[in-house]
Amino acid sequence: MARPEWLRTFVAVYRAGSVTDAARLRGLSQPAASQQLAGLERAVGAALFVRGPEGMTPTERGRSLYGEVCSALDQLEAVLAGLDAGRVTQARPALRLGSSAELFSAEVLPRLAASALSVVAHFADDVELLARLEHGDLDVVLTSATPPRRSISAQHVGDKRFMLVGAPHQASEAGFGSLRHLGDWLTGQDWVAYSLELPVTRRFWQAHLDRPFSANLRLVAPDLRAVLGAVICGLGVSMLPSFVCAGALADGQIVELHPIADLVAPEPWSVCFRQGEASRPDVAALLAVFSEPRSEDGPRDCSSMPAVNDWGPQGQKA
C-alpha cells in the first residue's frame, strides 16, 4: 500500500530531476528518499523513473501517476501550511500565477477581464518564479526564460518585440534615413536603462549601428515602467518592449525614434506549468485565455500603474 510520504517524495523527485535534490527539498537523507521511492514502485508494480547520467527521467507510468497525484498533494500542502499558520486555508482558492509586474499589467490583466478566473499574482524574477513553480508554490508562470527542468512544460503565447523610443521633441532630431546617421545622433545622447549590463541594447549598437554602445547612461532603474516614466519625463532615450510602451505611444507621451522591430530578434514568452497539469481546470482555463485574441474591451494598458517589480534576469534589460 502506497504511503502519502512516498508520494511526496515521488513528486519531489519528478520536479527536481534527481533523488539527491528531492531529498534536500524534503529534508531527508538520500538513502531515505531512495527507499521511499523504491517502496512506491513496489506498491505500484512498475518503474516510475529511468535512472541515467542526466538524472531521473519519468516513465510513462511515472508521468501518469504524477498527473493523478500532484494537484491533490499541492492542495494538501496548502491546507497544512494554513493550519500551521493558525488560519483556515481554502483548498486552492485561486490560481497562483507568477510573472513580472510589467508583463502582468500589460498582458495578463486585459485577458483576465474577459475571463472568470480568480488569480493570486506573485511578482519576482524568472529564476525565482520557475523554482517556485517546480516546488509547487505556484501553478503557472509567465516568462521568457527556458524552463530548467523536464518536469515543467511551456506553451508559447507571444513574442516580445523592442522599440527605440524617446520624448516627442526628439522625433525630428532622430528622423534620419540611415542607421549610420541614427548612430551618430545617439552617440552621446542621454540613455535610460533597466540594467547596467544592457545586453539587448549593446547587441543592437554593435550589430546595426556598427559601434559599441556610446550613449550617456543617465538613469538605471530595475523596473521597465520606471524606465518608461523616465523617457516620458525627458531623461533620455531607451529600448523598450512594445507591450510596455504601447499606451504611452498611443497617448503621444513618447514617440518611436526609428523602427527597429525587424532588426532586434524578438524574445518569445510562454505560460509554464508542471507536466501533467495542462488538463487541470484552472490551468486549462488560463491556457485557453491566452490562446484567444486579447479583448479590446479590457484595459488597453496599465503601464501608468506604480512600479512593483522587475522583469527578471531573462527579461528585457535593455
Q: How many angstroms separate the CA atoms of 102 and 287, rounded?
A: 19
When the pLDDT of each residue in the chain is averaged and rounded to a whole number, the result is 83
Cβ-contact 194, 316 below 8 angstroms: yes
The answer to whether residue 112 is domain-embedded is yes
Structural domain boundaries enclosing 130: 95-159+267-291
Cβ-contact 277, 94 below 8 angstroms: no
Same domain, 248 and 277: no
Same domain, 144 and 169: no
User: Among residues of the chain, what percentage have pLDDT more than 70?
Assistant: 86
> Cell 529600448 sits at which residue?
239
Q: For residue range 39-78, what is the model confidence (pLDDT) as tens digits?
A: 999 999 999 999 887 788 889 998 888 878 877 787 777 6
Same domain, 247 and 104: no
Joined grid coordinates for residue 154: 511551456
> Cell 512506491 sits at which residue?
40
User: Among residues of the chain, what percentage have pLDDT more than 90?
Assistant: 39
What per-residue confidence (pLDDT) applies to 254? 96
Same domain, 253 and 284: no
Prediction pTM value: 0.65
Report the run of H or E that residue 270 belongs to, with start and end. Answer: strand 267-274
What per-residue confidence (pLDDT) applies to 298? 38
Same domain, 135 and 169: no
> In this predicted model, which residue has the larger pLDDT, 51 or 314?
51
Provide the CATH number for the domain around residue 283. Answer: 3.40.190.10
Highest mean pLDDT among 13-17, 247-251, 273-277, 310-314: 247-251
Q: For residue range 194-238, what is the model confidence (pLDDT) as tens digits?
A: 999 999 999 999 999 999 999 999 999 989 999 999 999 999 999
Same domain, 252 and 182: yes
